[in-house]
Chain A
Amino acid sequence: MKENDILIRGGRIIDQARGVDVVGDVLIRDGRIAAAGERVDGAGASGSHVIDAKGLIVCPGLVDIHCHLRDPGFEYKETIETGTRAAARGGFTTVCCMPNTNPPSDSRATVEYIQRTAAATASVRVLPIGCVSKGRQGKEMAELGDLAAAGVVAFSDDGSPVADAALMRRALEYCRALDLPISDHCEEPALAHGGVMHEGWVAVRLGLRGQPSAAEEAMVARDIALAELTGSRVHIAHVSTAGSVELVLRAKARGVPVTAEVTPHHLTLTHENVMSSPSLPGGLAYDTNAKVMPPLRTADDVAACVEGLRDGTIDAIATDHAPHAPVDKLCEFDDAPSGISGFETALALVLSLVHDGKLDLPTLIARMTAGPVAAFGLERHEGLAGIGSLAVGAPGDVLVFDPNAEWTAEPERFASKGRNTPLAGRVLKGQVVATIHGGVVAFSAREVKVR
């Protein structure tokens, strides 16, 4: 072993990209995977790091294809530095940041700002997503070619849908030349109509305007039709309803180039979380920390999303990490911005599905590594061959975690500036032990032994 090597010893290696599930060692050298499998030999060199992974899971660093770093423009909510630090604590080594910054990422200049800032301050890899429309206004197509050349990995107007169907069609056609997907935040504005939560019995109880599942499904159906029409890849961001899962399933069966992602909270929480929260006792909670778009839905929707994730209808878990300053969320529900600060609780939250027997661990890991990579075709980008896997020569991005460690979510101790989570005080099971990015330990819960 050389100095600065990292040897991760004795863990259960789960690398779904290569169908590997074996107890063994992983060696990282010069920022790349040098070996991964049963027993890596070699006399230890001084300066090398050894991580004892006995009883732990070792897998490729998690890849998040949907998050909000708020930088540039909303640095009081989060910066690239604080956001990526939070991502590392959550086990992520690659994050794709959405373009609803200020200025939005609709120009090369903003994309390059993000890349420069990430290079200087980020703990993990940051891949920018560019706007579909100029200024995210939803009217005119942005200079997608220039953005692609600058290095964006996808296009989206997230926070907002691409509401104009004609614009979506044109953008999809244009993207055929670029071979990059468009990730759409599916929410038909006229049906969503200012609804602040799911339109269902909880909204009636709380006297809040809701938005129906149909608001999402109508646009999912539209995007699938457009993908079919244009032959371009459409990616459905944060699927939340049973109907959406059904539409994607049937579209995939027909061979339509559509992929989909789901958030950890849409796999585990329901609209009842708006009404009651253990940290807001005494009456109806109106918990603004449970306000997200798309909203938390019913238990039936959650079950359908879990099943869709299990059978591969949904390709990826993406956090939609959306931090807000505490003062932003300390107001009436109607006025509160939407979003959950999710990096640091994501893994434990989705591991609950494994603990409850609804999903097996290798599938879960696939949906957070190989799955998102494939959905966005990330491995085709320069320098990213092998990303999301532990193949020899792949980037030295590895996650070591303890699937059974119990800990309590304390937002006050998050690395993210965003403390907005409905999970405050909740006991979670599953904790990151170490996150390694590019052969460097980006986060470690324990002392890493150095020989």
Chain B
Amino acid sequence: MGGSAALLVQEPPPAILTRPAPGTWQHHHVLDLDDFSTDEIELVMETAGVMKEVLARPIPRIPTLRGTTIITVFYEASTRTRSSFELAGKALGADVINITSSGSSITKGESVVDTVLTLQAVGADILVMRHSHSGAPYLAARNTRAGVINAGDGWHAHPSQALLDLFTIRSHLGDVRGRKVVIIGDITHSRVARSNIWGLTTMGAHVVVCGPPTLLPVGLEGPRGSEDGREAALPPVEVETNVDRAIKDADVVMTLRLQLERMQSGLVPSIREYCNLWQVTSKRLATAKPGALVLHPGPVNEGVEISLDVAHGAQSVIEEQVANGVAVRMALLYLISRGRG
């Protein structure tokens, strides 16, 4: 046993083929789900399924991205997302380098553009970037030939999270078309909420967002008046401030992390108040559809956005989300590296 130090396959195009045209995958970068077609999302789902099988093997490693250099550039600390991408890259046989802002030239004030150009010169094929400022990965993508995957930018987008959430939901419920998915929490500051709204509505789900009015973004229902007919802020979602109405008959309950600074900046008067009005408890969960799934992007503030018993209860798929994260990220790395050309 032991993989042969394989000379990888260089195959001339096979004489026969039945596959759909390579035009299905259009992405050189994965910055957000707002420009993903249903076909592309399906492709990610299928590929993630294959990767999940790979991860289940005794040796969860394939040589697919051997020779590819993946560099993760995290301007914001993150344990789970960064290690998830790192494991994904390594499972694909790529070389993975991690750069975090502390202890690097980033803290010395090196700009995003300079960092990205340096990494390209060093040989990065794919950059995985997390930044506290919305739009930073777009700036990076415009200034490098490498493929850029957005691992979270400010309040704006977190596409790999939304894809792994979708994958998790589908692995239990199948198609999300027509399903009621409620997202509860601080929607304004949540890139997870935004990307999920894009992904879920593209795949036909009915999305409801719920939270304190001070944490629901202005203009969520889209432009009005003389701006009619133009692009809306986000795809149509139902907006609800009452959590009981929101959860009723839901197929999926997605809870978001409430950050301490929201209390400090006075957007919510207290944690106690938040819990009384918006916490997902088992009593509230009981009004959802039987077997409704409970998701959370993590890390969970137990006892705040979600009660302990729900977080660890039978309907919680929070741990699966984490496991699926590696498979979904493998799929993304594979697709952007193979999909070019």
Contact = CB atoms under 8 A, between A and B. Distances in A.
In the complex, are there CB atoms of A and B closer than 8 Å?
yes
Interface in A279-307: 280, 282-286, 298-300, 303
Contact of B154 (A212, A272, A284, A334): A334
B135 A332 contact: yes
Given A283-B138, A286-B134, A286-B135, A204 B220 contact: yes
Contact of B153 (A200, A207, A210, A283): A207
B227 A298 contact: yes
Taking residues whose C-beta sits less than 8 angstroms from the other chain, chain B's interface range is 35 or more
Contacts of A208: 134-135, 154-156
B218 A207 contact: no
B111 interface: yes
A199 B111 CA distance: 27
A334 B138 CA distance: 13
Contacts of B139: 286, 330-332
A318 interface: no
Interface string A105-125: 000000000000000000000
A286 B232 contact: no
A401 interface: no
A299 B217 CA distance: 20
A303 B226 contact: yes
B336 to A, nearest CB: 14
A208 B132 CA distance: 11
Contact of A334 (B35, B134, B157): B134
A335 interface: yes
A333 interface: yes
Interface in A249-291: 272, 280, 282-286
A413 interface: no
Interface in A382-419: none
Nearest to A298: B227
B172 interface: no
Contacts of A335: 133
B331 to A, nearest CB: 21
A280 B134 contact: no
Nearest to B142: A280
A192 to B, nearest CB: 14
B222 interface: yes
A335 B135 CA distance: 11
B191 interface: yes
Interface in B198-246: 217-220, 222-223, 225-227, 230-234
A199 B218 CA distance: 8
Given A207-B155, A283-B138, A202 B233 contact: yes
B141 interface: yes
A282 B26 CA distance: 12
Interface in B121-156: 131, 133-136, 138-139, 141-142, 153-156
A427 interface: no
Contacts of A303: 226
Contacts of B234: 204-205
B41 interface: no
B133 to A, nearest CB: 4
Given A205-B234, A207-B153, A299-B226, A200 B134 contact: no
A208 B29 CA distance: 21
Nearest to A205: B233
A206 interface: yes
A201 B219 contact: yes
Contact of B131 (A202, A206, A282, A332): A332
Contacts of B35: 283
Contacts of B31: 283-284
Given A201-B223, A204-B217, A299-B227, A330 B141 contact: no
Nearest to A193: B265
Contacts of A285: 138
A334 B111 CA distance: 13
B112 interface: yes
A102 to B, nearest CB: 20
Contacts of A209: 155
Interface string A146-179: 0000000000000000000000000000000000
B113 interface: yes
B194 interface: yes
Interface of A: 199-210, 212, 272, 280, 282-286, 298-300, 303, 330-335
Interface of B: 29, 31-32, 35, 111-113, 131, 133-136, 138-139, 141-142, 153-157, 191, 194, 217-220, 222-223, 225-227, 230-234
19 contacts: A201-B219, A201-B223, A201-B232, A207-B134, A207-B154, A208-B134, A208-B155, A272-B230, A283-B31, A285-B138, A298-B223, A299-B226, A303-B226, A332-B112, A332-B139, A333-B134, A334-B134, A334-B135, A335-B133
Given A201-B232, A303-B226, A334-B133, 18 more contacts: A203-B218, A203-B219, A205-B233, A207-B134, A207-B154, A208-B155, A208-B156, A209-B155, A212-B218, A282-B141, A283-B29, A283-B32, A300-B226, A330-B113, A331-B113, A332-B139, A334-B135, A335-B133
